[in-house]
Amino acid sequence: MPTVDAKPGPFTFDLESTVLLVIDMQRDFLLPGGFGESLGNDVGQLSRAIEPLAALMAAWRTAGLPIVHTREGHLPDLSDCPPAKLRRGAPSKRIGDPGAFGRILVRGEYGHDIVDELQPVDGEVVVDKPGKGAFYATDLSDVLDKFGARSLVVTGVTTEVCVHTTVREANDRGYECLVPADCVGSYFPEFQRVGLEMIAAQGGIFGWVADSPTLISALEELR
């Protein structure tokens, strides 16, 4: 079993029971003009994660390991979007409103889909979720059970919101989680730093934090 140098200590995982989870790398969040930028955020802070994540995904596919993608968004009638969430953002720039890439965070729209660089390939599962956590109101648990997953490598955006929520949910369900620091992103550098520190704090209260080159090297050594 490969071992990766990580915080708070080495992370050892079984290739047969580990899934790479890619959270919400969607155009609405990452591209200029999208929903994320309309909220006043610097999308460049998120786009930094694209290149290292693409490299990790390529190595993961070469090793023949499973990848699961998630997308946050809602049904066209917004029946699965609570009122408090609908009120986020400036008027006319809220979930369901017309945006630069179609209706904002609505399933089936161009902006709801994953950025070109990280598109899923045939056979990879895509889980659509209405909330921050990837387990809430989705079939993710069933998907992971089919893969026999016990460990998750969690990537995506944003570090302190959807990534953190999912890692916490996974921790409560008994999964061991590794978060590659360069493959997650926040609009706020301070949130990125503190979010990662929180995961590995207190002896790994939620999981482990490493970097993707270390993880890729561990995979390559097994060839």
Percentage above 90 pLDDT, the chain: 94
Q: For the chain, what is the domain count?
A: 1
Q: What is the mean pLDDT of residues 74-102?
A: 92
- CATH number, domain of 131, equals 3.40.50.850
In this predicted model, what pLDDT tens digit does every residue of 121-150 receive, in sequence order? 999 999 999 999 999 999 999 999 999 999
Give me the pLDDT at residue 29, please. Answer: 98
In a domain, 188, yes or no: yes
**Rounded Cα gap, residues 65 and 84, in angstroms:** 38
Q: How many CB atoms lie within 10 A of CB 14?
A: 12
In a domain, 88, yes or no: no
pLDDT of 90 higher than 80? no
Residue 209: pLDDT band by 50, 70, 90 thresholds? very high
Residue type (1 letter), 154:
V
In a domain, 101, yes or no: no
In a domain, 107, yes or no: no
Q: pLDDT averaged over the chain?
A: 97
pLDDT of 91 higher than 90? no
**Rounded Cα gap, residues 106 and 154, in angstroms:** 24
In a domain, 87, yes or no: no
Active site residues: 24, 129, 162
In a domain, 168, yes or no: yes
Q: Higher model confidence: residue 221 or residue 48?
A: 48
In a domain, 200, yes or no: yes
Phi-psi region of 137 (alpha: psi -120 to 50; beta: other; left: phi over 0): left
In a domain, 212, yes or no: yes
Q: How far apart are the first and last CA of the chain?
A: 12
Q: Give the closest residue to 156 by CA, choosing from 167, 148, 145, 144.
A: 167
Residue numbers of the domain that contains 119: 3-74+113-220
Q: What is the mean pLDDT of residues 168-178?
A: 98
